[in-house]
Amino acid sequence: VVLVHVLADLESLCVILASGEIYLLPLMDLEMGSMELELPESFGTMDAGITGAAWSPEEEVLIVTTGAEKLLLLTQDFQVLLETDLFSQKQGKDVQVNVGWGSKKTQFHGRAGKSAALAQAPTEAPPSDQTSGDSQASDVCITWRGDGKLFAVTAFDPIASRRTLRIYTREGVYQCSGELAEWTEGLAAWRWPLTSLIAVPCLSSPSEPRPCIVFYERNGLQHGKILLEQEAPVTKSTAPKDVSILRSRLQVTQLSFNPKSDILAVGLKTGDNHRLQLWTCSNYHWFCKLDIALSASISSLEDLIWEQEHPMRLHLFGLSTHQVFELTWDYAVNTDGVHGTAAVAAVIDGGNLNLTPLRYANVPPPMFTSSIQGTNKGAFLTVAFGIGLDGFAAVQTASDETASLFTFSFHVVLAPLHSIPLSPTHFLSLKPNGVSYSCATIVCVAMTDDGKVEGMNCTPYPTFFPEPCPYMVAISDPTSDEVVLLGLTARGRLYFGDRLVSSVVTSFSLHDDCVLLSTSNHQVLFLRKSSLFDASSHSFTLQEHPLARRMERGGRVVCGIPQETGVVLQMPRGNLETIHPHFLVLAHVSRSLDTHDYQEAFLACRKHRVDLNVLYDHAPADFLKHIADFVQQVDRPDYLDLFTSALSMLTQKPNMDVKTDGKMNQICGALRKALLDKDPSRYLNSILVTHVREDPPDLEAALRRVNALKEGDKQAFEVALDFLHFLVQTDRLYEASLGIYDLPLALSVLQRSHQDPREYLPILQELRGMDPLLRQARIDDQLGRREKSLSHLYAAGPSQAETWLKYAIKYSLYVAAITMSSEVSLSSQEDDRRRSILVAYGQFLNEEKAFQKAGHVFSLAEEWSLAARAYVRSKGWREGMTLARIHNFSSETIRDLVMLGYEAQKADRRPLDAATLLMEYLEDVEEAVDCLLEGYEYGEARRIAVEHGRSDLVESTVMERLEEHEEHLGEELEGMRKQCATQADRLDELTQQLVEAASSEAAGPGNDGHLDNVEIQSEVSTLMTDFTRYTKSSSIPASLMSKGSRSTKRQERKKNRGKKGTIYEKDYLIDSLGRLPSRVITSADEVVNVLHHLI
């Protein structure tokens, strides 16, 4: 039998025999037990026999090689598409051509060294030890690429007297041949889709023949290899003369990639013993992950097949037996959570166990920091680390069908401590929670096919997964002693006990108080362990989880460094990346602050660029209480400067920042006190930073502290002043030095600036020659400290009284000036200064229309006439008239005051007060009645007219005004009624048109060329909306609107006018109708007032 293949579309079994017959057996007949019936009539017979056959991946093309060295392409119904010679001497279309660019001597040869450049490349096939009489010479292997576009054929070429690898297109067009090599077996496997390499077993080199797997690119060039024997190579002098002798020692019987092409299965035969090796590639290095001897039940490994739907499931077939291997990926990393754990990762590579401490070295495979070689020349199966820092355990196969369990200790230079015999076929895996060196026991955890978990040498876990989970770990509840298993299926379902957490998880790892997850959405998630025990916390989906971080496509979580912030990820090619997620960094900082480990918290924030305000915001009162410990642990002045410089007024809260007043001054003051208590000289710069970082910066205190060093330590003074120049701009520092009135210090500051001495020296010389008080006043005036400058001018004495008064008036410092003049005993001169500033302040208040305050100020200055005039213009006009009577103002003056107050009250719409002034002081009835009628005070106007014997005014003036007001209100209400009716009708009309337009559009195509906001139309084209279908104007594209302020104002004016037929009309009508109720309510009060007096 050459080929047995199931055709899914035809529901048949295709059987191809070496004699040349091709049969199709219906699968229905095979299921009903008709296999003992005679074979049906063949679809055809090839007289020369069939040496090889293979169906394309989609089962539409069949490749057949015959004993006549022919290559045939057949359709699914076995019609011949192409027939060509198998060993054609024509060059392929992709054959390599030497265009003369460089030579072998100038090329880089890597590990081969310079000697490889001097070696002569063979121009033809070297003599081969393989002969046509070899039992394997007639074998032909055909392998398709996964996409079905190319296939390769390995066969013995009688012309070259050796096996060749020939690559063809799907149409049978010959492309190229592989490089010259020593073949051992007639096997080939195409790696796809990860790469496009062809794996072929051969000898490594003629001089040192060692069985290996060589990889070829589609152009026939070699691209790496795998050595199947790790022992010392066979030299050319000791090499056997016949290939059959090499086969007797090690023969490759099967070769196949899984559907994902990340695992290469190799079947080996040594004598009568069969072995299975599984190889994987990472960073262009091939690792032997599994090397086991097959059980005696498989006397001969005839075939191995990977399932297409389950890429990690491998089927082994013997002559009469069948075995299934379910494979899973797993990381062996020591992450038991003990502080100081090195997070050692173990990588199995055949008989070597490579170790790398990920805490200290992010070394990706195939590199490592140390390696362990097996004791019995077998391959390692698995490895697991124990709880604590003692060591780990590993399982290693022997030359026969047994395996041994070894325990290693880091304290004994990685020497094996124990050896326990095991059966490799029954062994599953070791888990970190299943190895305990404290009690000298080994615990193995197994799972049945239905998902039930069973333990050996331990108390069974009360866990039943809904489906088998090859990845599982035990998690204990932080608040209780409950232990639950967390399991991950091969299809990405994460179960916590029997509860589904997510179905998009690709890997997970435990880290302190959380679980690290990688998802198929290319994210790293952080799930708190406590939330797993809370059933209500699973109402959200992991895709919307707030603690998520993007990562490279296809990445997986290797581990999280215990008690640290690092998370190690492995990319698809094999590279390792260590990230420090913000969530883990903040959690680490929080734990450090809770234990008052301020140095660790500060260094973590500094390393990962976390806002240093979190050191205070985490627990403000506790931080201030232990600020001395903070200084003691951080210690370095530059670190303390960094912390103080990073402070801000914002207090970080979850999802928000809150501004906290006084925070900066509180921290700086406490920190400065702690620094002064510890070592003022060492932390001088840090103390200066605390002054500068206050809000507002206390630069004057910093300069005073620096200036105090001038007498004792001149060098320290210069260094401190230079440091202040580094922190603060020169102009601000110069202003602060002038603010303490220290001209020598100001000169020292300016000397460190880039200003021209000719600019500042004259100014300093002028200040030096002035009177001290006047100098201070000048400095304060330059610095904008007006009140201080005014106080210095006042202290200069009566000689500067006029200057003081002008300065107060110029900068409106009346209150400060009055306060200064009130603090001293009033002499005649001081009394004049006080009276003058009071009068100036009163006049200022009159200009500001604060008449009542002005009257109070004039009263303090005993300026009664000015006070009375100010009072009568305010609500307190009675105080003004009282002053006029008390101080015996003349009748003419009183009349002027009354008229001034009358006009002021009338202008302020206080008709009652204005009428009272006229009646009480001038007895002008007619003017008073007119004033009251202007303010709609009809009742008071009628009373005054009748009271003073002017009843004629009631009929001639009061009633006439009432009738006029009544007529005006009637017209106004009628206008509002008409407006409401008209606008309501128009709004109904617009609404009806809109409904009709929508109905017509739904009933037929209508104006299908005019659509709303069609992106493919030009900006300058006319866009029509549902509203503009029945209006005169077309709508305007949004991109053409609001081009500038003039255009915006123009559009606003159009919108406010609401012209009929425009797009703004409907909104205008709605707004106008909405304002009518408030207008009606306002008019209602006036109507009630008028009707009351008309009755």
Query: What is the pLDDT confidence band of residue 518, given thresholds at 50, 70 and 90?
Result: very high
Q: Which two tokens stand for residue 1033?
A: 């104007």
pLDDT (0 to 100) of residue 407 = 63
The whole-angstrom separation of Cα 508 and Cα 471 is 9
Asked if residues 261 and 286 have their Cβ atoms less than 8 Å apart, the reply is: no
Asked if residues 107 and 114 have their Cβ atoms less than 8 Å apart, the reply is: no
- What sign has the CA pseudo-torsion 871, 872, 877, 881? positive
The whole-angstrom separation of Cα 822 and Cα 795 is 13
The whole-angstrom separation of Cα 476 and Cα 120 is 67
Residue-by-residue DSSP string for 461-486: P--B-SS--SEEEEEE-TTSS-EEEE
> Which amino acid, 742?
D
pLDDT digits (tens, 9 = 90+) for 255-272: 999 999 999 999 998 878
The whole-angstrom separation of Cα 732 and Cα 698 is 11
What 3-state class would DSSP assign to 1025? coil
Q: How far does CA 662 lie from the centroid of its chain?
A: 33
Using alpha carbons only, give the angle 542, 548, 554 rounded to the nearest 5 degrees: 85
pLDDT (0 to 100) of residue 528 = 86
Worst-scoring range by mean pLDDT, 162-176, 825-839, 968-982? 825-839
Q: Which two tokens stand for residue 817?
A: 């000036």
Residue-by-residue DSSP string for 705-766: HHHTHHHH-HHHHHHHHHHHHHHS-HHHHHHHHHHTT-HHHHHHHHHTSSS-HHHHHHHHHH
Look-up of token digits 């003049």 = 821
Which residues, other chains included, contact 349 with Cβ-Cβ below 8 Å and sequence gap of 6+? 287, 288, 366
The maximal CA–CA distance of the chain, rounded, in angstroms, is 153
Q: How far does CA 56 lie from the centroid of its chain?
A: 45
Which residues, other chains included, contact 111 with Cβ-Cβ below 8 Å and sequence gap of 6+? none
CB neighbours of residue 525 within 10 Å: 25
- pLDDT tops 50 at residue 440: no
The whole-angstrom separation of Cα 857 and Cα 803 is 22
What percentage of the chain reaches a pLDDT higher than 90? 36
Look-up of token digits 């589904």 = 500
Cα of first residue to Cα of last residue in the chain, in angstroms, is 124
Distances (CA, A) of 829 to 134, 437, 530, 809, 835: 135, 99, 82, 19, 10
Long-range interactions of 580-584: CB distance < 8 A, separation 24+:
580/607, 580/608, 581/524, 581/526, 581/549, 582/549, 582/608, 582/610, 583/514, 583/526, 583/547, 584/511, 584/514, 584/526, 584/560
Q: Which of 143, 165, 142 is nearest to 221 (CA)?
A: 165
What 3-state class would DSSP assign to 179? coil
Asked if residues 517 and 524 have their Cβ atoms less than 8 Å apart, the reply is: yes
- pLDDT tops 80 at residue 411: no
Number of alpha carbons in the 13 Å side-chain half-sphere of residue 423? 3
The whole-angstrom separation of Cα 902 and Cα 467 is 97
pLDDT (0 to 100) of residue 1013 = 41
Helix ranges, 137-279 (H): 243-249
CB neighbours of residue 575 within 10 Å: 15
Residue-by-residue DSSP string for 334-352: -----TT---EEEEEETTE
Query: What is the pLDDT confidence band of residue 824, given thresholds at 50, 70 and 90?
Result: low
Q: Which of 1027, 1023, 1012, 1025 is nearest to 1067 (CA)?
A: 1027
Asked if residues 560 and 510 have their Cβ atoms less than 8 Å apart, the reply is: yes
Which of the two residues, 822 and 301, has the higher pLDDT score? 301
pLDDT (0 to 100) of residue 834 = 87
CB neighbours of residue 887 within 10 Å: 12
Asked if residues 567 and 362 have their Cβ atoms less than 8 Å apart, the reply is: no
CATH number of the domain at 3-90+130-326, please?
2.130.10.10
Give me the mean pLDDT over the 999-1018 stretch: 50
Environment class of residue 172 by beta-carbon count within 10 Å: exposed (0-12), middle (13-18) or buried (19+)?
middle
Asked if residues 66 and 50 have their Cβ atoms less than 8 Å apart, the reply is: yes
Q: Which two tokens stand for residue 333?
A: 């990393």
Which residues, other chains included, contact 762 with Cβ-Cβ below 8 Å and sequence gap of 6+? none
Worst-scoring range by mean pLDDT, 290-304, 605-619, 712-726? 290-304
What 3-state class would DSSP assign to 395? strand
The whole-angstrom separation of Cα 676 and Cα 673 is 5
Asked if residues 200 and 188 have their Cβ atoms less than 8 Å apart, the reply is: yes
pLDDT (0 to 100) of residue 84 = 93
Most confident of 543-547, 668-672, 743-747: 668-672
Distances (CA, A) of 118 to 206, 664, 908: 17, 74, 112
Using alpha carbons only, give the angle 44, 46, 50 rounded to the nearest 5 degrees: 115
**In this structure, what DSSP letter does residue 363 have?**
-
Q: Could you tell me where the beta strands, DSSP code E, fall in 646-685?
A: 650-653, 656-659
Every domain of the chain and the residues it spans: 3-90+130-326, 942-1001+1014-1095
- pLDDT tops 90 at residue 456: no
The whole-angstrom separation of Cα 158 and Cα 134 is 12
Q: Which two tokens stand for residue 83?
A: 């027939």
Q: Which of 148, 196, 143 is nearest to 166 (CA)?
A: 143
pLDDT (0 to 100) of residue 1090 = 76
Using alpha carbons only, give the angle 621, 625, 628 rounded to the nearest 5 degrees: 140
Query: What is the pLDDT confidence band of residue 952, given thresholds at 50, 70 and 90?
Result: confident
Which helix (H) or strand (E) segment holds residue 326: the answer is strand 322-326
Q: Which of 170, 262, 172, 281 is nearest to 223 (CA)?
A: 281
Length of the chain counted residue by residue: 1095
Worst-scoring range by mean pLDDT, 112-126, 333-347, 437-451, 1062-1076? 437-451
pTM equals: 0.71
pLDDT (0 to 100) of residue 619 = 92
- pLDDT tops 50 at residue 852: yes
Q: How far does CA 351 lie from the centroid of its chain?
A: 42
Name the phi and psi angles at 581, rounded to 5.
-60, 145
> Which amino acid, 1052?
E
pLDDT (0 to 100) of residue 409 = 59
- What sign has the CA pseudo-torsion 1068, 1071, 1077, 1080? negative
pLDDT digits (tens, 9 = 90+) for 636-656: 999 999 999 999 887 765 555
Which helix (H) or strand (E) segment holds residue 915: the answer is helix 911-917
The whole-angstrom separation of Cα 494 and Cα 502 is 5
- What sign has the CA pseudo-torsion 587, 591, 594, 599? negative
pLDDT (0 to 100) of residue 288 = 93
- pLDDT tops 90 at residue 657: no
Environment class of residue 405 by beta-carbon count within 10 Å: exposed (0-12), middle (13-18) or buried (19+)?
buried
Q: How far does CA 721 lie from the centroid of its chain?
A: 43
- pLDDT tops 70 at residue 803: yes
Worst-scoring range by mean pLDDT, 347-361, 398-412, 970-984? 398-412
